[in-house]
Structure 1
Amino acid sequence: MANYLYQDILIESGDVVLDAGRNPVLIQDRAVIAQDIKHAIIESNLAVYLIAERSPSKKADARTQLELLVEEDVRLVPGTVRIEEVDDGRIYIFAETLEFGGVSAEVNLD
């Protein structure tokens, strides 16, 4: 059995993902960190504010708040978080982890 630092149940669209045997799908290490980042952003409602806001200065403020929120994760290298708003309803988050290299997450609010 492999040794993992982090292990969790895979959640997609708010539901637990099940395998063919109807057991929860497990994710490890880098995928756990990405999922935790995504859930922190969704739970904060900052992504909704960023997408809904039209003022460039308020959007920049919301993006900074999102970066600071993600930076709170102690598993990430400080200063490596990057947020990109691709189009309405979709945000990409990129960062470097301490143990596993680069990690990315997508928050889709459609």
Structure 2
Amino acid sequence: MKYQDILIENGDVVLDAGRNPVLIQDRAVIAQDIKHAIIESGLAVEMVAERSRSKRADLSMKLELLVEEDVRLVPGTVRLEEQTEGVIYVFAATLDFGELSLFVDVEQSRG
């Protein structure tokens, strides 16, 4: 185990049956960090709200570059998809833990 963190879902710490924080490791920590970086950037909300194709493409590229900044990922492996409006999927390869996939539901992240 290289990375460890507390699991956060919908802005809240997730607790187990004994009311202790649930811990996550390695790939799950990286995914959670990326998801929070996307949400905190505000770019995902801006992208979903944008109707101009070219501006959406620019915002998507900014999101991809934001994710690429994570030094725990293999450079050039980040791919973003918006298969459903308001849900952004992220795919990448980590340096130490294989493939990574996550999604950001923009509606839920608006808080």
Three-state SS of the structure 2 residue aligned to 1:31 is helix
Is 100-109 or 34-43 further displaced after alignment?
100-109
* 1:81 alignment partner AA: V
User: Equivalent of 1:83, from 80, 84, 92?
Assistant: 80
After TM superposition, the structure 1 = structure 2 runs for residues 26-37 of structure 1, keeping only pairs within 5 Å, are: 26-37=23-34
Pairwise CA distance, 1:47: 0.3
* CA positional deviation for 1:88: 1.9
The percentage of aligned residue pairs carrying the same residue is 74
- Unaligned residue ranges in structure 1 (runs of 5+): none
- Could you tell me how far 1:55 is from its partner in structure 2? 0.6
Q: Which residue of 1 aligns with 2:11?
A: 14
Distance in 2, Cα, partners of 1:35 & 1:10: 8
Structure 2: segments with no counterpart, 5+ residues: none
Q: Which runs of 4+ in 1 moved over 4 A?
A: none
Q: CA RMSD in A?
A: 0.6
CA distance in 2, matches of 1:104, 1:26: 19
CA distance in 2, matches of 1:48, 1:32: 23
Q: Which amino acid aligns with 1:36?
A: D
SS at match of 2:83: strand
Which residue, out of 64, 67, 74, partners 2:64?
A: 67
TM-score, normalization by structure 1: 0.95
> Which position in structure 2 is the counterpart of 1:23?
20
> How far apart in 2 are the matches of 1:86 and 1:72?
23
2:90 matched to which residue of 1?
93
TM-score, length-scaled by structure 2: 0.94
Task: Choose from 94, 102, 106 the match for 1:105.
Answer: 102
Deviates more, 1:57-66 or 1:80-89: 80-89
TM-fit CA distance, 1:69: 0.2
